[in-house]
Amino acid sequence: MSAIFLVAGVSGCSRLRPKPEAQYVYVTAKQTFLRDRVAAVSNRTATVENGDRLEVLDHGRRFVKVQTAKGEQGWIDDKVVATQDVFDQFEKLKKEHAADPVVASAVVRDDVYMHATPGRDTERFYRLAEGEKLKLLARATLTKPLPPGTRVAKAAAPVTAPSTPAVGGGAASGGGKGAKAAAAASAPAAPEPAPEPPAMEDWWLVRDSKGDTGWLFSRMMDVDAPDAITRYSEGQRIVGSYVLTTVNDPEAEQDEKNIPIYVTVLSPYKAGLTYDFDQLRVFTWNVKKHRYETGFRDRNIEGYLPVSVKMATDPYGKGPAATTPAPTFTYRVLADDAGPVVPDPVTGAIVPGKTVLKTYRLEGNLVRRVLQPGTTAPGEARPEPVSDKKKAAAGKGGKKKKR
């Protein structure tokens, strides 16, 4: 009898024991299949796609047995799934940057992954399709990793010329040549050339159309700018393009007669810059000639995103300017006494020091700076110009790789 009660007690305890917490993995591949067994020959039991959550039922050597939300079960290669920790990293990014201002828009060039942090070897999860629209939030710049097996060249030790003892009687028999040779040997060696700076690459924190957030290699996307103004980029990269207002031109060739007026920011085709743009241009529309023209240009600056555009009155103006709202844009540039800007070596974040806020109004086709009367504009830092050779080298695009 006691044995019966003992068995009953043990079975009751097992029923009261809490069920192990469910474990989940997430599909990172664009699309893959579940299989009924881990073998060379197997049957497909289900199709899963990027981002799908799968409940873990069992673990194998290189495979995981999972169950879909529909109850379908099967084995999946553990190389095409992400753990819960990786998923949580992306969810954290999404929440932390949900309210970040959008500094520009872009389009994905090819199928590519978003990463949890900047860098090619960091955790990745969401896969973006070619043509996906993106919102750009922030830029980071990191040292480009060296190819596997590359050896870093060490700096050569300075060469010291051996001392040459004086030779007696040299002046009587060709001593002039000996003196010249001795002087050349004792002359200090030419200084070693300065080492080339490391190659850099840029990454952008982006938000896709679903609201998912992650880091994307900058060369895998293009800033979304209208074709009508990209022809005027003059060999520079358009970083951002924003509509100030529209002008009606009934005789314009375009189907849409309300022609947008743009303010754009541009930078050299070079990664690793410590500023976002070095030039700003306003493209106005000439109603008589039915074409775009440069209405304003601010160049040789160290500018930082975002560029703010709004309708506003001039707080320091008189007459109509003080009461009539006009298209107004604002941006920041580095101050001349801010000191050097150095990207964070770990995160790649670029945080400028002291900046100057610049505000301009578009009045008709004229752009005027909004500045308090009786004051002078603060001093601004000026970047070192990027040579044409460097521009050409940075602008050459190699074969695109999926990441």
Give the architecture (CATH level 2) of 22-82. Roll (2.30)
Secondary structure (3-state) at 4: helix
> What's the pLDDT at 110?
92
Residue position matching structure tokens 């309708």: 311
> What's the pLDDT at 21?
84
Q: State the pLDDT confidence band at 403, using cuts at 50, 70 and 90.
A: very low
What's the average model confidence in pLDDT over 53-66? 94
> What's the pLDDT at 87?
96
- Tens digit of each residue's pLDDT (9 = 90 or more) over 166-216: 444 444 444 555 555 555 556 666 666 666 778 899 999 999 999 999 999
Q: Is 331's pLDDT higher than 90? A: yes
Q: State the pLDDT confidence band at 6, using cuts at 50, 70 and 90.
A: very low
| 319 backbone dihedrals φ, ψ, rounded to 5° | 70, -140
Residue position matching structure tokens 């044995």: 3
- Work out the percent of the chain whose per-residue pLDDT is above 90: 66
Q: State the pLDDT confidence band at 384, using cuts at 50, 70 and 90.
A: confident
Classify domain 84-144+199-224 at the CATH topology level: SH3 type barrels. (2.30.30)
Q: State the pLDDT confidence band at 321, using cuts at 50, 70 and 90.
A: confident
What's the average model confidence in pLDDT over 313-330? 89
Q: State the pLDDT confidence band at 236, using cuts at 50, 70 and 90.
A: very high
- Tens digit of each residue's pLDDT (9 = 90 or more) over 15-32: 656 667 889 999 999 999
- Tens digit of each residue's pLDDT (9 = 90 or more) over 258-298: 999 999 999 999 999 999 999 999 999 999 999 999 999 99
130 membership: H or E segment, kind and range: none
Q: Are 355 and 339 in contact (CB under 8 A)?
A: no
Q: Which of 319, 310, 312, 351 shows the shortest CA–CA distance to 332?
A: 351
What string of DSSP letters covers 305-360? EEEEEEEE--TT--THHHHS-EEEEEEEEEBTTS------TTT-B---SSEEEEEE
> What's the pLDDT at 219?
92
> What's the pLDDT at 274?
94
> What's the pLDDT at 241?
94
Give dist(CA 127, CA 218) in Å, integer: 15
What string of DSSP letters covers 242-306? EEEEEEE-TT-SSS--EEEEEEEEEE-S-TT-SSSEEEEEEEEEETTTTEEEEEEEEEEEEEEEE
**HSE-up (13 A, CA, CB side) for residue 41:** 0
Give dist(CA 139, CA 24) in Å, integer: 32
Question: Would 22-82 and 84-144+199-224 be classified into the same CATH topology?
Answer: yes
Residue 55 one-letter amino acid? E
> What's the pLDDT at 323?
86
Q: Where are the domains of the chain?
A: 22-82, 84-144+199-224, 225-395
Q: State the pLDDT confidence band at 319, using cuts at 50, 70 and 90.
A: confident
Give dist(CA 175, CA 168) in Å, integer: 9
Chain CA centroid to CA 2, Å: 72
Q: Which of 239, 121, 139, 141 shows the shortest CA–CA distance to 198?
A: 141
Give dist(CA 243, CA 399) in Å, integer: 33
Q: Are 133 and 250 in contact (CB under 8 A)?
A: no
- Tens digit of each residue's pLDDT (9 = 90 or more) over 89-130: 999 999 999 999 999 999 999 999 999 999 999 999 999 999
> What's the pLDDT at 179?
57
Cβ within 8 Å of residue 121, ≥6 positions away: 145
A 10 A CB-CB count for 356 gives: 19
Q: Is 393's pLDDT higher than 60? A: no
Cβ within 8 Å of residue 112, ≥6 positions away: 127, 128, 216, 217, 220, 221, 402, 403
Q: Is 343's pLDDT higher than 80? A: yes
Q: Which of 376, 373, 371 shows the shortest CA–CA distance to 361?
A: 371
